[in-house]
Amino acid sequence: MKPVNYVKFTFLSRSINESFARGAIAAFAAQLDPTVEQLADIKTAVSEAVTNCIVHAYPADVGQIQITAAVYENERLVITITDKGVGIADVEAARQPMFTTGGAERAGLGFAVMESFMDNVKVRSKLGKGTRVTLIKQLHMREHTSRPLFCAA
């Protein structure tokens, strides 16, 4: 199925860009008229995925992060966050709560958080080549009542 709309952008793996990515995806997702809760879920999952790239994919360097987001006719939002960093040695272990390669200051909950807020999370990674995280959220258009913007007397 082809998307009805999509966006693709690339940015550097600097901490300051995490809020940019979160905001850009929230603005893009707004076309589906999500609830405040759905939008917060999407923003949180994107934040976790981007933070993982910043902290783990490029631990001693700055690299590129690419995000693609697509909207489909069935109101499905698919967000893909890709890096070309160090990769994940064991994806299944990395997806377990409390697993981290980021040191004692990291909680190791990134994938668990993503999975709790999205309908589906896919992770593909190759050592030395990078990681691709795909976040999928099924949204349902809210019913709107037709209200006049102003009343004529």
> Cα(78)–Cα(7) distance, rounded to whole angstroms?
11
Residue 80 contacts residue 6 (beta carbons within 8 Å): no
Bridge partner residues of 30 (DSSP): none
Active-site annotation holder among 76, 106, 124, 132: 106
- Listed in sequence order, the residues at least 6 apart from 125 whose beta carbon sits closer than 8 Å to its beta carbon are 87, 88, 91, 131, 132
**In 2-147, which ranges are continuous DSSP H helix?**
16-29, 36-52, 91-94, 110-117
Active-site residue, 52 included: yes
Active site residues: 48, 52, 106
